[in-house]
Amino acid sequence: MNVERIPLIGQVLESGADDRVLDGLLLSGPIVIALIVLLGRNLLTEGIAVTYLLVFVGYVAYLGLQ
């Protein structure tokens, strides 16, 4: 199945910077926030949030250094 044919996901992939990692960050953003809302502040959610930010900053820096 082609993920680009799924309505909302397809639009996100089509609109962005043609980069699957950044598209993935955009699509996983609501999930990260939902987890924080549902589980509250604990080591797991803080770990997820830190990972989310590190992937974003680290990946943009990596693209810049390439």
List contacts with another protein (CB under 8 A).
Answer: 11-12, 14-17, 19, 22, 25-26, 29-30, 32-33, 36-37, 41, 46, 49-50, 52-53, 56, 60-61, 63-64, 66
At closest approach, how far in Å is the CB of 1 from another protein?
23
As a whole number of angstroms, the distance between CA 7 and CA 34 comes to: 21
User: What is the distance in angstroms between the CA of the first residue and the CA of the last residue of the chain?
Assistant: 32
Give the residue with the Cβ less far from another protein, 4 or 19: 19
CB 65 within 8 A of CB 47: no
